[in-house]
Amino acid sequence: MKLTNEEQSMLQGENGKAVQKAMQILATLGKIYHAECLIPVTSVQVAGVSYDNLGEAGLEFLEEMVEGGGKARVLSTLNPAGMDISNWEALGIDSTFAHNQQRVIDAYTRMGIIPSCTCTPYLAGNLPHFGEHIAWAESSAVCFANSVLGARTNRDGGPSALASALTGRTPAYGYHLEENRQPELTVHVTQPDFSPLSVNNTWWFGALGKAIGLRFEGNDEQKILYITGIHLATMEDLKAFSASLATYCGAALFHMHGITPEASSVPQPSIDIKVSDEEIEEASLSMQTASAADVDFISLGCPHLSINEISHLAKLLEEKKVVREFWITTARSTKEIADRAGYTKSIEASGAKLVADTCCVVAPIKNRFHAMATDSAKACYYGSSKNAQLTRFLPFEQVIQLALIPPDNEKNQ
């Protein structure tokens, strides 16, 4: 791989040990993927933030990078942590975990990475434009950035995204190259006649992502899909769909006819499949492993909720009382708008928790809850695989309704 003089000097350690280590990571990655050179990036999203996933070894690596003088050279933001940084006690997080989580955040902050702690950086000040080369980790955000925004990123891992933050470079391979962004398979679907602006549609888009994923189960070859039949999708729908497709299909890029920016300039593949309504229904049913009575944990906000979703939720909870543990997760910057608009007050008066910086998957809650209700297909996957929870997959408003009904009244649902 060809390196510029500046990149060579980074590799030789002339900019400090952390930059040298970062350049070694990128050079190795470039070699594995036969990249011809590195390219500049202008935005980074770093994952690997929850102490629950990082552990002491991950934290030591970060602290070494701090000691080695690592400093972000481009706009760099952080994925969710394992707790609400300023309100962790209310979530039942223990103080040892909180101390270690804070060390992680401090390490990133000392490297100049903005502690935004959200998986929706595009709603929190890190919004790349069409064609911009970026280096993002966080599969749902990668799929959204490539597909919906038309930015160019691979599915970076935590260390490679950090390396890009410290050098402002990424190897030129994969989705950075135009020829690797062409669709290979057309997927026809029929969008139901649902109310176009309903917050409940995220549920259908999540089920669709899983239904498509089930078609490719056991097949490691990842194809770029060209999806037809969707006439209307809000940003929130595409956020849910990107998260689900990335989870169940490993997708980092899709094109959607009439909706995503590259769909009109790429050829629609002649090889095609149809994903039927029955398959979408089956995908949805496969995430119903818990009865309503089983549910002891309710979660909305995977990916993190937008202010529009929070405003709907606040209205639905007004003057109501929730009777099960209910976390609503979002970016801190979104929560601050919710505070100012009075949404937080309505939500918290109901007993639900409007939580920033974390989510139901990366918080250390394994074995605390038996069954989770959510509108998120991604949360169902990780709730079951990481946290050993049963799941109940419902539309947004039904999730809220369930939070209001005591388990004893739910026996027959």
Binding residues for ligand F3S, per CB under 6 A? 79-80, 119, 140, 243, 302-304, 329, 359, 361-362, 378-379, 382
Least gap, CB of 186 to ligand F3S (angstroms): 27
Judged by beta carbon, residue 172 or residue 362, the one nearer ligand F3S is 362
Sort strands 75-78 and 135-137 into parallel, antiparallel or unpaired: unpaired
**Residue 244 Cβ, how far from ligand F3S at the closest point, in Å?**
10
Which 8-state DSSP code applies to residue 260?
S
The C-alpha atoms of residue 140 and residue 143 are separated, in whole angstroms, by 5
Shortest distance (Å) from residue 359 CB to ligand F3S: 3
Query: Rounded to the nearest whole angstrom, what is the least distance from the CB of residue 406 to ligand F3S in the complex?
Result: 27
**What's the CA gap between 382 and 394, in Å, rounded?**
16
Q: Indicate the residue type of 50.
A: S
What would you report as the CA-atom Rg of the chain, rounded to the nearest whole angstrom?
A: 21
Closer by beta carbon to ligand F3S, 140 or else 167? 140
Of 23 and 287, the one with the shorter C-beta distance to ligand F3S is 287
Q: Are 249 and 216 in contact (CB under 8 A)?
A: yes
Report in angstroms how near the CB of residue 5 gets to ligand F3S at its nearest: 38
Cβ proximity to ligand F3S, 38 vs 151, nearer residue: 151
Q: Which residue has the tokens 């997959």?
A: 393
Minimum distance from residue 100 beta carbon to ligand F3S (Å): 19
Q: Which is nearer to ligand F3S, 310 or 359 (CB)?
A: 359
Is the Cβ of residue 262 or residue 375 nearer to ligand F3S in the bound state?
Answer: 375
Backbone angles phi and psi of 272, in degrees to 5: -145, 160
Give 118-174 as a DSSP string. Answer: -S-GGGTT----TT-B-EEE-HHHHHHIIIII--B--EE-HHHHHHHHHHSEEES-G
